[in-house]
Amino acid sequence: MAEEVDVVVVGLGPGGEDAAGRLAEAGLSVVGVESRLVGGECPYYACIPTKMMVRAAGLVAEGERIPGMAGEADVRPDWAPVAARIRDEATDSWDDTVAADRLTAKGAELVRGRGRITGPREVTVDGRTFRARRGILLNTGTTPTAPPIEGLDGTPYWTNREAVQATEAPASMIVLGGGVVGVELAQAFSRFGTRVTVVQTDDRLLPREEPESSELVRRVFEREGIGVRTGLRTDRVAHDGNEFTLHAGGDTIVADRLLVATGRRPNLRGLGLEHAGLDEDARAIPVDGNMRAADGVWAIGDITGKGQFTHVSMYQGAIAARDILGEDGAPAAYRAVPRVTFTEPEIGAVGLTEEQARDQNLPVRTGMVSLADSSRGFIHKSGNDGFIKLVQSTEWGVLVGATAAGPSGGEILGALAVAVHAEVPVTALREMIYAYPTFHRAIESAVADLGGG
């Protein structure tokens, strides 16, 4: 017999956990279903542990910049404290007890297992069936995926999940994929002594960002000794029990470890979406502005195709919870989704790139300034690589996109995200007072470079 509840939340990543807690605290009977770890990928295998790696790698780099600016330094990187911090502070040795207790303390019931829709407003988990009076909220996320390369399957390659559990930095590593995950982990391990080569099928790193961002990261990587091979398709991979050998375009690259960072797939198969009139073979579940996917079904997070970011999942989860509770509010708007690649320099971006805007037939002009040429860049000196690029709609007189690349690029992005989201007139940006000497003051110079009066 089915157990009657108000809401079943399938998948307790950041947005799902937050929404389940909100609904339970509002007085609804809520069942949260999770087959892995409560909290999802972000706190255990992605956002938090990888940024701990990036932070540690940044300290190493800063120490090496002391000569010539602040005296002398003997920097000897050691991965052990990094591994210990990830294990003890971030993940509790990949134990989700704290997160599970946080959820149940709000009044939700946690059910471990894989949930499947088995009928209208009905979810079955390992023989238990729940009938949801108000509906089902889906937040099943994505899983790392590997390309169909000859010889790869069956080898002990890493994804981000294995990389964050590393107890030592390998002597050498091939990173297959030059997107966000690939470049962040490549630089982090390189700064701890790993000889790294990034192999990218596309003709540039970070292909979804501005080409200036791609070129900047490549230039810094090559200066730091990271090999970058773009426009190179991998033909096959071999592993002899000790080393990986990658064959690509007639070249051979050998390393102790292979990190595959070529993308993720949505966890839709086997979810029973056909019982809700949805397609499990789709790349994403289409949702409206209130996260409704079908009658009695809401979807949030990576599976909606609106950006594989924790902040998007949390944003959508709050909207879905509000809609389930029957509360009014603004529908979802994605014109100003911020994103940050935590390399050094950081690549912070929001809205459209110049190419994306032109592909949408938007008449635009751009403004750009080098951070090294700013007063703060001059002061910063070592490690001051970066720029600010603005994309303005000449028809509307507002920014439709922006990139802040450089030291604290993700923090500079905050002001630009507000400008894009709130559709602040460029004239207002010209009239602002910017603190001196800061990196964000370079926004003023980039606005001036837009021209147009």
Q: pLDDT exceeding 90 applies to what percent of the chain?
A: 98
385 with 220: CB under 8 angstroms? yes
Query: In the predicted model, is pLDDT for residue 18 greater than 80?
Result: yes
CB 128 within 8 A of CB 246: no
* Side chain identity at residue 325, one-letter code: L
Percentage with pLDDT > 70 across the chain: 100
- Please provide residue 366's backbone torsions phi and psi, each rounded to the nearest 5 degrees: -125, 155
**97 pLDDT more than 80:** yes
Q: What is the pLDDT of residues 155-209, one digit of tens each?
A: 999 999 999 999 999 999 999 999 999 999 999 999 999 999 999 999 999 999 9
The confidence score (pLDDT) of residue 451 equals 84
pLDDT for the residue 134: 97
Dump pLDDT digits (tens) for 207-261: 999 999 999 999 999 999 999 999 999 999 999 999 999 999 889 999 999 999 9
Give CA–CA dist 309/240, Å, rounded: 37
| DSSP letter for each residue of 402-449 | EEEEETTHHHHHHHHHHHHHTT-BHHHHHH----TT-STTHHHHHHHH
Provide the CB-side half-sphere exposure for 151 (13 A, CA).
13
- pLDDT tens column, 197-222: 999 999 999 999 999 999 999 999 99
- What is the overall mean pLDDT for the chain? 97
pLDDT at 453: 58
Task: Give 23-36 pLDDT, tens digit per residue.
Answer: 999 999 999 999 99
Rounded-to-integer distance, Cα 234 and Cα 148, Å: 10
pLDDT of residue 452: 73
* Model pLDDT, residue 250: 87
Q: What average pLDDT score do residues 56-60 get?
A: 98
* pLDDT digit string, tens, across residues 300-326: 999 999 999 999 999 999 999 999 999
Query: How far is residue 84's CA from residue 2's CA, in Å, rounded to a whole number?
Result: 45
* Residue 339, pLDDT score: 98
